[in-house]
Amino acid sequence: MAPLASVLSERQKEELHRALLDYLSSAGLHSTFEALKSELPAQQDFQPDPKAKWAGLLEKKWTSVIRLQKKIMDLERENSMLKDELASAGSITSSRKGQQEDWLPGRGGGARHTLVSVLLTGHRSPITAVAFHPTFSSLASASEDCTIKIWDYETGEFEVTLKGHTKVVCDVDYDSKGTFLGKIRSRTLEQNIILPDIINLSKLNPPVSCSSDLTIKLWDCSNNYRCTKTLYDHDHSVSSSRFLPGDTHIVSASRDQTIKIWEVATSLVSFSKQTSSFNLFCVKTLRGHSEWVRGVWPWTHGKLLVSASNDQVSFPFTARIWDLTTGESKVELRGHEHVVEIAAFTPQVANAAIREMAGIPAPTTQDSKTKEPDPVFVATGSRDKTIRIWDCSSGQCLKTLVGHDNWIRALVFHPNGQHLLSCSDDKTIRAWEMRTGRCVKVVDAHDHFITSMAWGRALAGGGPPTTNADSADHPNGQSPSTHRRVAVLATGSVDQSIKIWAPYFFCALSLPLPA
């Protein structure tokens, strides 16, 4: 039988022979080494040399082949998954509506856009918070670089940088309508400075931000995002700021162990000679936490707040539910084994699924019609790597969701109420099925810790915006099609990037694009 024709050149043959001889010598196979050497007249003078280019070449070639085979298998598997997703999508034009209502990040492709540092337009330090405009395709991001940046999340284009804070910007939030009219009543202030009876503030789309510089700031979107108000009263870093339902007040949480309520629609002001600016008074201070208050979040209907903190009573760490009317702490949620980073009231559309998960009977039809809606459940996330679902009335933990490998940093309820999304320092987003408490989706989202996450607030197809809470609740516990929110998710990370996740996009785009 004639030998097969070699596909190697003479030079490649020589390198292969030398690599074989080197391997046999280094492996101690001396008899085989001498036998092969005698079969290769051109290699009679070969001597092993650890510094020669062929030293260890055979092992390197072998391992590189294995790596390439694994890469090919991974690509084939990914290609197969994408084909399956495309096939299951069917006709997008005919079925997009139904699919968007149940869409989860990672289903239907990767990140639509990645908003990263390019030249001078991106954040230069970790992202701390992201917030969607309730009407337009704008996204605000806060960062440890002391700035806030505004992006168009549909195109990925950078719009403007807001500068004013002198330390880390810890949080950012939009009001519920994207339009805010402020009126400040007059009062004689220090050194007999008199303000007009009514000061009409310009039309705002105001994000509110807070910082480690002890301040809270309001920004005028209609005037190139000029800072119009600075609020002073906290004695330490301000870790969280949110508009309350109705947009007439802001709630803030701080490392000074307090929660403060600020009136921004009609309020007294003081004049600062140092900054030559007018400052709003705090109208209420809530005390009860004994350590750093990590954040505070209002209930959709405005009567209650939930706060997360570093508090540690005996051993368990705590979150608290507050009555806004009285300023009193109603319930302590004890059970986490480390700092509570995040908390969120569950939307009404999720209540039925959570009752099923916890084995709680549903309320009677008559009760649900006559009784004013109350928050029933709260979700909290902690540095102990767990998420807990609590009964608001009793403070009892109904379910502990285990799966993350590091601190939980943000929680967002899906608008359909069937899933809870969480992000973590383990660099993943997880989707939890509320009916069972089971993790149904894991998305490797970033290259570093994920610090923040938000779901789009604008309504699909236009219409009035949602409230500034996490969900637009409906009295009967359902979210009708006219109130369906856009299917878009934003995540921010220590890797200094913001990712936009949306259905039917299969590539990640780094933005801004080079000119």
The strand pairing partners of 227, in sequence order, are 219
The three-class DSSP label of residue 308 is: strand
CATH, residue 71: 1.20.960.30
**Residue 499: closest CA among 448, 460, 457:** 448
Distance between CA atoms of residues 124 and 130, nearest Å? 15
Domain that holds residue 58: 12-42+54-85
Q: Could you give the angle at the alpha carbon of 231 between the alpha carbons of 277 and 254, nearest 5°? A: 155
Q: What is the 3-state secondary structure (H, E, C) of 491-505?
A: EEECCCCEEEECCCC
Q: Is the pLDDT of residue 506 over 60?
A: no
Q: Is the pLDDT of residue 4 over 80?
A: no
Tens of pLDDT, residues 312-328: 765 678 899 999 889 99
DSSP 8-state secondary structure symbol assigned to residue 106: B
Nearest to 506 by CA among 213, 183, 113: 113
Structural domain includes residue 4: no
Same domain, 80 and 115: no
Residue 394 included in any domain = yes
**Other CB atoms within 10 Å distance of the CB of residue 118:** 13
237 and 302 assigned to the same domain: yes
Distance between CA atoms of 242 and 457, rounded to whole angstroms?
15
pLDDT band at 272 (very low <50, low <70, confident <90, very high): low
What integer pLDDT is reported at residue 112 of this predicted model? 58
The answer to whether residue 258 scores a pLDDT higher than 70 is yes
| Same domain flag for 268 and 375 | yes
User: Taking residues 274-283, what's their average pLDDT?
Assistant: 62
In a domain, 21, yes or no: yes
Q: Which residue has the higher pLDDT, 181 or 135?
A: 135
Q: What is the pLDDT of residues 371-415, one digit of tens each?
A: 545 668 999 999 999 999 999 989 999 999 999 999 999 999 999
Judge whether 187 lies within some domain: yes
Residue with tokens 């519920």: 176
pLDDT for 92:
37
> What is the structure's pLDDT at 471?
42
Residues 362-372 as b/e (b if ≥16 CB within 10 A, e otherwise) read eeeeeeeeeee
Query: Which whole-number Å values give the CA distances from 167 to 94, 174, 233, in the listed order?
Result: 49, 21, 16
What is the per-residue pLDDT across 137-196, written as a single tens digit (0 to 9) for each?
889 999 999 999 999 888 888 888 999 999 999 999 998 775 442 233 323 223 333 333
**Residue 100 belongs to some domain of the structure:** no
Structural domains counted in the chain: 2
Return the SS3 of 198: strand
Residues 222 and 338 grouped into a single domain? yes
* Residue 384: per-residue pLDDT: 95
Q: What is the CATH number of the domain that holds 337?
A: 2.130.10.10
398 and 458 inside one domain: yes
Judgement on whether residues 72 and 111 belong to the same structural domain of the protein: no
Q: Is 62 left (phi over 0), alpha (psi -120 to 50) or beta?
A: alpha
Query: Residue 458 pLDDT more than 90?
Result: no
User: Are the C-beta atoms of 190 and 243 separated by less than 8 Å?
Assistant: no
Percent of the chain with pLDDT over 70: 73
Q: Are residues 22 and 168 in the same domain?
A: no
Question: How much of the chain is helix, strand and coil, in % rounded to 5?
Answer: 20, 40, 45
Q: Could you tell me how far CA 296 lies from the centroid of its own chain? A: 16
For 367, phi then psi, to 5°, come to -65, -40
Same domain, 170 and 61: no
Same domain, 77 and 186: no
283 and 173 co-located in one domain:
yes
pLDDT digits (tens, 9 = 90+) for 69-112: 888 888 888 887 777 666 654 433 334 444 467 777 765 555 65
Kind of pairing, strands 111-115 and 510-511?
parallel
478 secondary structure, DSSP code: -
425: in domain: yes
Residues 465, 483 contacting (CB under 8 angstroms):
no
Highest mean predicted confidence (pLDDT) among 16-20, 55-59, 97-101, 150-154: 150-154
373: how many CB neighbours lie within 10 A of its CB?
16
CA distance 223 to 225: 5
CA atoms in the 13 A half-sphere facing the CB of 204: 26
Whether residue 145 sits in one domain with residue 81: no
Kindly state whether residue 2 falls inside one of the protein's structural domains. no
DSSP secondary structure code for residue 2 in this structure: P
Question: What's residue 110's pLDDT?
Answer: 58
3-state SS class at 35: helix
Q: Do 372 and 409 share a structural domain?
A: yes
47 located within any domain: no
376: left (phi over 0), alpha (psi -120 to 50) or beta: alpha
